[in-house]
Amino acid sequence: MMYIKNLDKLLENTRCSKCRKAREIVLRTLNKALEEANPQKAVRKSLKKMRRGVIEVCDKLFSYRKLYVIGFGKASGEMALAIEEIIGEDIDKGIIIVPENIAHRYRFKHLKTQVSTHPIPSIKSLKAGEEIVNIAQEAGAEDLVLVLISGGGSALVEVLRPQITLDDLIETTKLLLKSGANIEEVNTVRKHLSLFKGGWLAKMIYPAKTVSLIISDVVGDPIEFIASGPTAPDTTTFKNALDILSMYNLVDKVPRNVLDLIVEGAKGLVEETPKPGDEIFKKVFNFIIASNKESLEEAKKYAEKTYGLNALILTSRIRGEARHVGLVIASILEEIFKENTPLKKPALILAGGETTVTVVGKGKGGRNQELVLSAAKTIKGLDGVAFASIGSDGIDGVTDVAGGIADAHTFEKIREKGLSIDEALKNNDSYSIFSEIEDYVYTGPTGTNVNDLMAGVVLK
C-alpha cells in the first residue's frame, strides 16, 4: 500500500539523478515502515478466536461470558475493523472513539462509533468518556473487556476530576503542548487531572478482566504513558506533575483549579491514581502489538533486500529539540558521504522516536518539518544524499502534512525563493518553507501512530 500520496511529485522535485534515486529509496523505505505499523495487520498477528467464548492474545488464552470492546486513539478504528473480522459475532457491546477527521472511514456491524477531537480535547471527549464508563461498569466478574489503545487517546477521551472544568483542561493541554515538554511529562500532568487515565479505566472495569491491545506512540513503549495509561498502574504522582509545571514555568500560567488540585494532591489531600500492587491489576493484561522499533526493523530489511544498502538503525528512542536532532542526523550523513564511516556507501540510516519543539515564534510547522529543515544546511551540495522525517499518523504539528524531505539541493532552492532557513526556524515556520518549495510529505491521516520515522540515504 502506498501511503505517501505525493511520491511522484517529490521524485520530480530535485535537480540531479542521484538525489532523485536517494529520494526514492528514502520515501519507499519510510512507506514500508508505515505498512508494518498497519493496525489491522498488527491485530491479526496478535489475536485469534479459538471458539465461542475463548480468544488467544499473544499466545495467552482468555475465556469470557460476555465480551465488551472499547477503543480509542488514532489507530483504534483500523484495529476495530480487524476485531470485527475475527470475533465480531462474539461482541456483546462496544464503542470505538475515533478522530472526527477520519470517522467517515468506519462502518461497524457490532460496534458503535463516536467522534472526538485531537490534539485538543473538547466536549466530545467528555461525552466519549461517559459512553465508555457506562460500558465498563456494565461488565461483570466473568466478562472480558477488550480495550484497543493507541496514540491520541489522551485527547479523544476524558473523565475529569470534579475540581477541573473542560476549559481548565483545554488551556492546560495547550500550554503543555507548546512548552517543549515530552509526551511522558505531558501525560503525567494529564493523568492527575483525570479519572480515566493513569489506571482509572482498569479500576472501572474491575472485577471484569481487562485485555488491552496497544499500538505504541511513546519512545521506549512504556505502557503507562501510551494514551496516558488508562489500563496501566501509574508510577507517577501529583508531586511529579507539580515538578513538571515548575520545570516548564507553567505554575503561574495554568488555570487556578489545575494548580490547586495538583498542589493538594502533592500534599496527600487528593486520592492518587491506581498504583502498582493494586489488586485490580491482577485481572489486567496489556499487550503492545505494534511499535516504532518493529517498523524500523522491517524498513531496514526492505532497504537491504531491495536496494542492497548498508543499513543501520540508529535508535528508536530519539528525543530532544527537533532542530538539534536534525543537525546530528545530518552530521552523520555528512560523515558517511565524506569518510565512509560509520557505514560504507551506499548507506541508509534509520531512526525513530519523538522530538519536541519549544514554540517561540508565530509560524506554522511541526517537529518533523523543523527537524528536516535544520538538516538541509548541513547536507547542501552532497549529491546523492536525501533525508526525510514523518509523523507516522500523517500529521505533523498543526499542519495537514506528515513531514518533509531534503536533499543536496534543498538549501539552494530555498535561497532562490528569497527565503531563509534560519529565519524560518527562529519563527517556527518550517511549513511555509516546505509548502513554497513543494517538499512536504503528504499521506493524509494514516490510521496508525507509532511515533516519528526518519530515513537518510547516502549513495556512491
- Identify the pLDDT of residue 425: 96
382/398 Cα distance (integer angstroms): 31
* Mean pLDDT in residue range 146-162: 97
User: From residue 415, how far is each of 226, 231, 360, 418, 431 by CA, in Å?
Assistant: 41, 50, 23, 5, 16
Concatenated DSSP letters of 16-84: SHHHHHHHHHHHHHHHHHHHHT-HHHHHHHHEEEEETTEEEETTEEEE-SSEEEEEESTTHHHHHHHHH
Strands 403-407 and 385-391: antiparallel
Contacts of 418 (CB under 8 A, 6+ apart): none
What percentage of residues in the chain have a pLDDT greater than 90? 97
Are residues 21 and 27 in contact, defined by beta-carbon separation less than 8 angstroms?
Answer: no
- Identify the pLDDT of residue 346: 98
Gyration radius of the chain over CA positions: 22
Strands 144-150 and 209-215: parallel
Q: Alpha carbon 215 to chain centroid distance?
A: 9
Query: Residue 196: phi, psi to the nearest 5?
Result: -120, -45
Contacts of 229 (CB under 8 A, 6+ apart): 187, 191, 197, 198, 199, 223
* Mean pLDDT in residue range 106-117: 96
* Mean pLDDT in residue range 244-267: 98
411/378 Cα distance (integer angstroms): 9
Name the pLDDT band for 99 (thresholds 50, 70, 90): very high
How many other C-beta atoms lie within 10 A of the C-beta of residue 399?
21
- Which residues on adjacent β-strands are paired with residue 387? 406, 456
CA angle 191, 394, 36 (to 5 degrees): 90
Among 8, 72, 79, which Cα is nearest to 438's?
8
| Alpha-carbon torsion (65, 146, 221, 186), positive or negative | negative
- Identify the pLDDT of residue 117: 96
- Identify the pLDDT of residue 139: 98
- Identify the pLDDT of residue 210: 98
Q: Is 241 helix (H, G, I), strand (E, B) or coil?
A: helix
* Mean pLDDT in residue range 315-327: 96
Cis preceding linkage at 255, omega within 30:
no
Among 48, 42, 45, which Cα is nearest to 149's?
42
| Alpha-carbon torsion (212, 218, 221, 225), positive or negative | negative
- Which residues on adjacent β-strands are paired with residue 220? none
pLDDT digits (tens, 9 = 90+) for 28-70: 999 999 999 999 999 999 999 999 999 999 999 999 999 999 9
Are residues 323 and 306 in contact, defined by beta-carbon separation less than 8 angstroms?
Answer: no
pTM of this prediction? 0.90
pLDDT digits (tens, 9 = 90+) for 282-294: 999 999 999 999 9
Q: Is 385 helix (H, G, I), strand (E, B) or coil?
A: strand
User: From residue 214, how far is each of 7, 58, 169, 221 by CA, in Å?
Assistant: 30, 12, 25, 10
Q: Is the pLDDT of residue 180 over 90?
A: no
* Mean pLDDT in residue range 175-192: 94
Average pLDDT, the chain: 97
Are residues 135 and 159 in contact, defined by beta-carbon separation less than 8 angstroms?
Answer: no
Q: What is the DSSP letter of 287?
A: E
Q: What is the DSSP letter of 181?
A: -
Are residues 390 and 455 in contact, defined by beta-carbon separation less than 8 angstroms?
Answer: no
Are residues 38 and 448 in contact, defined by beta-carbon separation less than 8 angstroms?
Answer: yes
- Identify the pLDDT of residue 269: 98
Burial 409-441 (b: 16+ CB within 10 A, else e): bbbebbeeeeeebeebbebbbbbbbbeebebbb
Helices (H) then strands (E): counts for the chain: 17, 15
- In 117-221, the DSSP E strands lie at 144-150, 209-215
What's the order of all strands across the beta sheet hosting 91-99?
Answer: 112-116, 91-99, 67-72, 144-150, 209-215, 284-290
| Residue indicated by cell numbers 548541513 | 378
Q: Give the DSSP H or E segment for 376.
A: helix 367-376
Among 313, 317, 314, 318, which Cα is nearest to 298's?
313
